[in-house]
């Protein structure tokens, strides 16, 4: 009889354990990479033209996480160039969203105290990053605000999006070779809730 | 008897639960668990899952014997259900994780798979930049495991034992095939030294656990075992050296991982164990329990039938 009681107690303990071994509603930061290489379509030295690129943010993470987003953040922005060009460049990366349709400068790309002076194109053959404390990139509060707001909106709106623009000016050479690109990558994390939970 | 069957079923179910939690690829190829692991770089996954390798590894070697008495000849067979439980220490709930390249600080303390809420760390140079570690997945003070074990002997004082669990994907639509296998040999030393007042044996054991292409666990142990029987009661103990490795291979979704390919091996922390336990024999029925002390403390016990 005692053995039976002991077994029943063990059974209850084991079954209770089994129902609670996985945390309810735990958060996993899912890597988010917003990136695009903008082809320079201009053929002459001066203003450069690129096509804006829109990103539906939730499509950048695994489908299984899209309806369970509880937070988002970014932790780096990287700018790099592809293609050989002996001249210089200065420019900006701008951002907009459906909620903030006016383009706001997210990143100044260039040299000098305000990052508005032309620097050699080859400077960006190695990615210049915020985390690397690059002197050639600097964020603007207005653009960061648009970016952060869009990331925050992922919690309530799985269709939220942003559009990134690259504009700039080349100098220091007589001609602009074809095939040049400016690549922008925003690295972030999206907190996905796993295994149910109360939604907090 | 019905209660005993229910207990065994519950233990086995919890083993699956624990293995599912510890070894994320048990969930099907598209589940969040597997995708969770894919977020990690090699360094990060090592710290996050190391306690799982330690505790799961310690469990895999427990419960190999409940007596050192091995008949020299004759047919002997026993079937045991062995349950194991490894204690989750406080130091296994957090680890020092690495932040992305050039992030300041370079490391931060955050939850392991057994921890609580993940830590968010703010870049000290640019406070707008932050990075977060994942929450723990398992809320448990012990990690359980249960396996069936068949023991057959004896030939020249030697017996063999095997463990085998296969959970086919068809059993549930959530889990892919999982296979746990273990095999060992034990040989009586006391047959050569009849004057020794207790039974002594040596044993060697090899075990594997495989699920999908993500996790491949292998380990072996060898040890010295002793026991002394007093009527229905047998007191037993032993020492063993053990080694295990949990190998993880996957393509990371972390953009900071060069080549995205992660191939890491986690060595179980436990390399030596001292075992002490007792078994009660009631005819062909047996019940036993023991404690295993080493870098990881765990307990094993079970019920069996055999002669």
CATH number for the domain that contains residue A167: 2.60.120
B126 and A130: CB-CB below 8 Å? yes
Model pLDDT, residue B165 = 87
Q: Is the pLDDT of residue A44 over 70?
A: yes
Site from A2, A6, A31 to mutate, B interface, most B CB atoms within 10 angstroms: A31
Q: Are B76 and B306 in contact (CB under 8 A)?
A: yes
- All residues of chain B having their beta carbon less than 8 Å from the beta carbon of residue A187 are 100, 255-256
Q: Please give the backbone phi and psi of residue B284, each rounded to the nearest 5 degrees, phi first.
A: -90, -5
One-character DSSP codes across B216-228: EEEEEEEEEEEEE
Model pLDDT, residue B44 = 83
Of the candidates A175, A147, A160, which has an alpha carbon nearest to the alpha carbon of residue A66?
A160
- Look at residue A199 and tell me if it is in a domain: no
User: Helices B2-22 & B42-60, crossing angle to 10 degrees?
Assistant: 160
- Look at residue A139 and tell me if it is in a domain: yes
Least confident of A56-65, A99-108, B64-73: A56-65
- All residues of chain A having their beta carbon less than 8 Å from the beta carbon of residue B139 are 20-23
Site from A131, A146, A193 to mutate, B interface, most B CB atoms within 10 angstroms: A131
At which residue do the structure tokens 């050479």 appear? A173
A22 and B137: CB-CB below 8 Å? yes
Model pLDDT, residue B170 = 61
The larger pLDDT score, comparing residue B42 to residue A190, is at: A190
Three-class SS of residue A113?
coil
The contacts of residue B189 (CB under 8 Å, 6+ apart) are B200, B201, B202
- Look at residue A21 and tell me if it is in a domain: no
Q: Please give the backbone phi and psi of residue B109, each rounded to the nearest 5 degrees, phi first.
A: -90, 125
Model pLDDT, residue B106 = 93
- Look at residue A5 and tell me if it is in a domain: no
- Look at residue A9 and tell me if it is in a domain: no
Of the candidates A79, A81, A47, which has an alpha carbon nearest to the alpha carbon of residue A170?
A47
User: Based on the structure, what is the number of domains in chain A?
Assistant: 1
Model pLDDT, residue B143 = 85
- All residues of chain B having their beta carbon less than 8 Å from the beta carbon of residue A16 are none
Measure CB to CB from residue A11 to each of B3, B102, B129 and give the nearest one.
Answer: B3
Site from A12, A21, A189, A191 to mutate, B interface, most B CB atoms within 10 angstroms: A21
Whole-model pTM: value is 0.79
Share of chain B above pLDDT 70, in %: 85
Give the mean model confidence (pLDDT) for residues A148-157: 93
Query: A173 and chain B: CB distance < 8 Å anywhere?
Result: no
Q: Which letter, b or e, does each residue of B154-186 get, where b requires 16 or more Cβ atoms within 10 Å of its Cβ?
A: beebebebebebebeeeeeeebbebebebebeb
One-character DSSP codes across B160-206: EEEEEEEE-GGG-SS---EEEEEEEEEEESGGG-TTSSSEEEEEEEE
Q: What's the ipTM?
A: 0.85
Q: Are B185 and B156 in contact (CB under 8 A)?
A: no
At which residue do the structure tokens 């907190």 appear? A191
- Look at residue A69 and tell me if it is in a domain: yes
A29 and B39: CB-CB below 8 Å? yes
The strand pair at A47-48 and A161-171 is best described as: antiparallel
The rounded mean pLDDT for chain B is 85
Give the mean model confidence (pLDDT) for residues A8-29: 61
The larger pLDDT score, comparing residue B266 to residue A200, is at: B266
A11 and B10: CB-CB below 8 Å? yes
Query: A5 and chain B: CB distance < 8 Å anywhere?
Result: no
Which tokens go with A93?
């990366």
- Look at residue A16 and tell me if it is in a domain: no
Q: Are A186 and A148 in contact (CB under 8 A)?
A: no
Three-class SS of residue B263?
strand
- All residues of chain B having their beta carbon less than 8 Å from the beta carbon of residue A144 are 128
Which tokens go with A159?
């269709």
- Look at residue A18 and tell me if it is in a domain: no
Query: A60 and chain B: CB distance < 8 Å anywhere?
Result: no
Share of chain A above pLDDT 70, in %: 87
Share of chain A above pLDDT 90, in %: 66
- All residues of chain A having their beta carbon less than 8 Å from the beta carbon of residue B136 are 23, 26
A21 and B100: CB-CB below 8 Å? no
A195 and B32: CB-CB below 8 Å? yes
Q: Are B239 and B273 in contact (CB under 8 A)?
A: yes
Q: Is the pLDDT of residue A116 over 50?
A: yes
Query: A194 and chain B: CB distance < 8 Å anywhere?
Result: yes
Residue B24 DSSP symbol: G
Q: Are A24 and A182 in contact (CB under 8 A)?
A: no
Site from B10, B81, B93 to mutate, A interface, most A CB atoms within 10 angstroms: B10
Q: Which domain holds residue A37?
A: 27-194
CB within 8 Å of chain B, chain A residues 132-161: 132-133, 139, 144, 148
Segments of chain B scoring below 70 in pLDDT: 1-33, 35, 168-177
Q: Is the pLDDT of residue A136 over 90?
A: yes
Model pLDDT, residue B171 = 59
User: Helices A2-20 & B2-22, crossing angle to 10 degrees?
Assistant: 20
């Amino acid at each position: 009889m005692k053995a039976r009681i002991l077994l029943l107690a063990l059974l209850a303990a084991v079954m209770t354990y089994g129902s609670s071994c996985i945390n309810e509603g735990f958060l996993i930061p899912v890597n988010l990479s917003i990136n695009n290489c903008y082809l320079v379509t201009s053929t002459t030295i001066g203003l450069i033209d690129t096509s804006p690129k829109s990103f539906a943010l939730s499509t950048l993470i695994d489908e299984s996480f899209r309806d369970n987003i509880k937070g988002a953040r970014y932790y780096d922005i990287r700018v790099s160039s592809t293609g050989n060009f002996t001249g210089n460049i200065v420019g900006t990366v701008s951002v907009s969203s459906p909620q903030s349709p006016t383009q706001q400068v997210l990143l100044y790309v260039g040299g000098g105290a305000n990052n508005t002076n032309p620097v050699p194109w080859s400077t960006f053959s190695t990615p210049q990053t915020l985390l690397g404390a690059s002197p050639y990139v600097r964020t603007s509060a207005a653009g960061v605000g648009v970016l952060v707001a869009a990331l925050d909106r992922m919690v309530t709106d799985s269709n939220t999006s942003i559009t990134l623009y690259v504009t700039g000016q080349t100098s220091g050479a007589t001609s602009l070779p074809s095939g040049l690109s400016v690549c922008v990558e925003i690295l972030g994390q999206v907190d996905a809730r796993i295994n149910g939970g109360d939604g907090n | 008897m019905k209660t005993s069957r229910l207990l065994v079923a519950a233990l086995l179910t919890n083993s699956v639960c624990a293995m599912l939690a510890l070894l994320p690829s048990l969930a099907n190829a598209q589940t969040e668990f597997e995708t969770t692991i894919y977020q990690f770089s090699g360094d990060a996954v090592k710290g996050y899952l190391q306690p799982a390798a330690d505790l799961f590894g310690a469990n895999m070697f427990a419960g190999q014997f409940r007596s050192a008495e091995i008949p020299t000849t004759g047919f002997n067979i026993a079937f045991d259900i062995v349950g194991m439980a490894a204690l989750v220490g406080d130091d296994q709930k957090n680890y020092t994780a690495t932040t992305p390249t050039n992030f300041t600080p370079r490391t931060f303390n955050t939850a392991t798979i057994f921890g609580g809420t993940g830590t968010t760390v703010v870049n000290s140079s640019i406070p707008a930049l932050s990075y977060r570690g994942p929450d723990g997945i398992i809320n448990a003070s012990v990690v359980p495991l249960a396996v069936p074990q068949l023991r057959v002997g004896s030939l020249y004082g030697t017996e063999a034992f095997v463990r085998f669990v296969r959970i086919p994907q068809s059993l549930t639509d959530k889990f892919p095939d999982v296979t746990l296998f273990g095999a060992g040999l034990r040989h009586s030393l006391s047959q050569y030294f009849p004057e020794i007042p207790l039974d002594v044996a040596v044993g060697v054991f090899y075990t594997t656990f495989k699920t999908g292409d993500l996790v491949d666990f292998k380990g072996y142990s060898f040890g010295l075992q002793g026991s002394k029987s007093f009527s229905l009661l047998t007191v037993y103990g032993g020492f063993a050296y053990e080694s295990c490795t949990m190998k993880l291979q996957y393509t990371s979704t972390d953009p900071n991982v060069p080549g995205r390919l992660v191939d890491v091996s986690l060595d179980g922390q436990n390399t030596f164990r001292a075992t002490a336990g007792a078994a009660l024999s009631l005819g062909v029925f047996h019940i036993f329990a023991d404690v295993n002390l080493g870098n990881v403390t765990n307990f094993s016990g079970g019920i069996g039938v055999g002669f």
